[in-house]
């Protein structure tokens, strides 16, 4: 039996930008800054991708500095860059996303830890093919 499940809590490093594929699927990507559990001085920057309704809601409600929790799976994909070189990209594909900032959170990103909104898996698991990526 294999399991591919990731749970992360962190802050967005930039505002998410909503895009649509040629087939009309909503897509949003952002990086999540996640502190190491035992060494708060070290931060990992994890690429995160959300599709469909989750992407639209994330682009509407999230911004740089937003504190979120993400549950998803790791996806490694390959592509050829503009120079024809084969590249690999590792990202977390969102299954569930929870906003952790309080309503009264200020622009500096402070939070009381109250949960405002959760984007549960509102649609069936998306079968996303590499053809859906806009590059």
List pLDDT tens digits, range 63-91: 999 999 999 999 999 999 999 999 999 99
Question: What are 18-59's pLDDT values in tens digits?
Answer: 999 999 999 999 999 999 888 778 999 999 999 999 999 999
Is the pTM here over 0.75, yes or no? no
Using the structure block, give the residue that is written with the tokens 């809601």: 57
Q: Give the Cα separation of 2 and 83 in Å (integer).
A: 36
Sign of the torsion formed by the C-alpha atoms of 37, 40, 43 and 48: positive
Report whether CATH 2.40.50.140 matches the domain 6-126: yes
Q: How many beta carbons lie within 10 A of that of residue 34, not counting itself?
A: 16
Higher pLDDT, 134 or 85: 85
């Amino acid at each position: 039996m294999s399991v591919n499940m990731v749970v992360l809590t962190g802050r967005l490093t930039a505002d998410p930008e909503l895009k649509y594929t040629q087939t009309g699927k909503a897509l949003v990507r952002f990086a999540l800054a996640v502190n190491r559990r035992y060494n708060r001085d070290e931060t990992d920057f994890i690429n995160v991708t959300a599709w469909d309704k989750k992407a639209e809601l994330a682009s509407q409600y999230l911004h740089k500095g937003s504190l979120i929790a993400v549950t998803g799976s790791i996806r490694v994909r390959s592509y050829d860059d503009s120079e024809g070189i084969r590249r690999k990209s590792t990202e977390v594909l969102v299954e569930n996303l929870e906003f952790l900032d309080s309503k009264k959170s200020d622009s500096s990103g402070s939070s009381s830890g109250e949960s405002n909104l959760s984007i549960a898996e509102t649609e069936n698991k998306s079968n996303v093919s590499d053809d859906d990526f806009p590059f």
